[in-house]
A and B are shown apart, each in its own frame.
Chain A
């Protein structure tokens, strides 16, 4: 699969060149790379938000070219609608005909209490902290029961402590639902902590330069970040960016 586009000045830019990936069902996969490596572009192509130039993307054997119900997406900012309560935001899928009201309601209740938002159902987004808003965003993406969850740097805008907490919560949510997750991040530590598999991308043109399986036991804890194994994985990823810097 590849993606290229022509800029306004007529320059032809290859955002992604011959990316060939296959991801097992139920795996947590992190896409890591410096900015401009096309990791967000890749995610958006899988989500059907942008069209690819060549190749194909399929989920469970079905080729996708437009957004499908099988996908849930979490953006960098929570993208909540300020006129809807937490519960109304989370159950947006039912209003848009993506899922039945009863199924969404039941799952909304379960996930909201899982991420500690029980009692906040009738609050408006403006009354919540940034971390709570992103919890709502994650819950919303899970509520119509997608097969694949796409996350585009969902914790990048949060403070370090909230980020740690949400990483642990996301792991618990994922272990409970066993969704396939594609998680874009530029934080190596975040990737090692969360993922079963890290795909390292390099820029100009965007391409896959490494594919690392993370074999750490679950549930992972924040203490494990200081372990030697964790450090080895992190430096295996970091190594690529150091050489990249030298090449340029």
Chain B
């Protein structure tokens, strides 16, 4: 009996997921290569379009390579990564901490939620210039804007998650006479974890967008600033290179959060299978 259970548990992911993912990955890589090849060798020569409007993929790759080795794009990337990381960290943390009273008490919810909803209703792009005025052209204003953008999805999901504990599990803890802290630590928090990671995953891509928007409004450094600089210089390949870099950063950050999430809330994966 025990061997049979063990065998199916180990065998199923190997038998099912690995070959399928391999095939799908091959197809999706092929689509990308075909797309780039058509662009490089069919679209550009046929239309004879100006490189200032649409550069070849090879020119973009070269711009990316020289930008990274030259140093200026590398330094910009480092700045943007710091803004994204710090803003994401603070925003998520504040969202989670505020979710605890709001999820726990109707009174706290009634006091806090109008302000939180109002804060979310304000277009962040519209108030970004204010933060630049208040906190300067440096990193602080960007971190604040990224925090504001990442805060909400984490907050909303954490509130839902902290209320998602099934009634019978609460009864079990009541029978044990569990304290409020034990109930939070051993019951509400683990039940909220899948929801919180859902929010963190939405927030991570938003945080990259937030950093770029903040840099557009006023910055000398960062990938957003690099896009503006390249645009003014009609260096379209440089713009595309920066966009490619951004896409990669957002995708890698999202994949990282997802893989951490899968490890932390492992029991949800098992339930799906």
Given contacts A73-B172, A75-B168, A82-B271, contact A97 B187 (CB under 8 A): no
Given contacts A81-B190, A82-B267, contact A96 B2 (CB under 8 A): no
Q: A69-B177, A73-B175, A81-B169 are in contact. List 17 more A-B contacts (CB 8 A).
A: A48-B175, A49-B175, A67-B176, A67-B177, A81-B186, A82-B270, A83-B193, A83-B266, A95-B186, A96-B173, A96-B176, A96-B177, A96-B178, A97-B179, A97-B182, A126-B271, A127-B9
Give A231 to B168 CA distance when docked, in angstroms. Answer: 36
Q: Could you list 24 A-B pairs, sorted by A, with CB under 8 Å?
A: A48-B174, A49-B174, A67-B175, A67-B177, A68-B177, A71-B175, A72-B175, A75-B171, A77-B168, A79-B166, A81-B186, A81-B187, A82-B267, A83-B266, A96-B176, A96-B182, A96-B186, A120-B2, A124-B267, A126-B267, A126-B270, A127-B5, A127-B9, A127-B270
Which label, helix, strand, loop or mixed, suits the secondary structure of the A interface? loop
Residues of chain B with a CB closer than 8 A to A83's CB: 190, 193, 265-267
Which chain A residues have a beta carbon within 8 Å of chain B's beta carbons?
Answer: 47-49, 66-69, 71-73, 75, 77, 79, 81-83, 92-93, 95-98, 119-120, 123-124, 126-127
Minimum CB–CB distance from A85 to chain B (whole Å) comes to 10
Residues of chain B with a CB closer than 8 A to A92's CB: 176, 186
Q: Find the A residue at minimum CB distance from B167.
A: A79
Total residue contacts A-B, CB cutoff 8 A: 66
Contact in complex: A98, B2 (CB < 8 Å): no
Which label, helix, strand, loop or mixed, suits the secondary structure of the B interface? helix
The 8 closest A-B pairs by CB, nearest first: A82-B267, A126-B270, A73-B175, A96-B176, A96-B178, A83-B190, A79-B168, A67-B177
Residues of chain A with a CB closer than 8 A to B176's CB: 67, 92-93, 96, 98
Give A124 to B9 CA distance when docked, in angstroms. Answer: 12
Give A111 to B266 CA distance when docked, in angstroms. Answer: 27
Residues of chain B with a CB closer than 8 A to A67's CB: 174-177
Contact in complex: A98, B177 (CB < 8 Å): yes
Q: Find the A residue at minimum CB distance from B5.
A: A127
Given contacts A67-B176, A93-B176, A124-B267, contact A49 B186 (CB under 8 A): no
Give A81 to B266 CA distance when docked, in angstroms. Answer: 13
Q: Find the A residue at minimum CB distance from B189.
A: A83
Given contacts A95-B182, A96-B182, contact A124 B270 (CB under 8 A): yes
Q: Find the B residue at minimum CB distance from A93.
A: B176
Residues of chain A with a CB closer than 8 A to B171's CB: 49, 73, 75, 79
Residues of chain A with a CB closer than 8 A to B2's CB: 119-120
Minimum CB–CB distance from A147 to chain B (whole Å) comes to 14
Give A159 to B196 CA distance when docked, in angstroms. Answer: 36
Residues of chain B with a CB closer than 8 A to A95's CB: 182, 186
Give A73 to B187 CA distance when docked, in angstroms. Answer: 17
Q: Find the B residue at minimum CB distance from A140.
A: B172
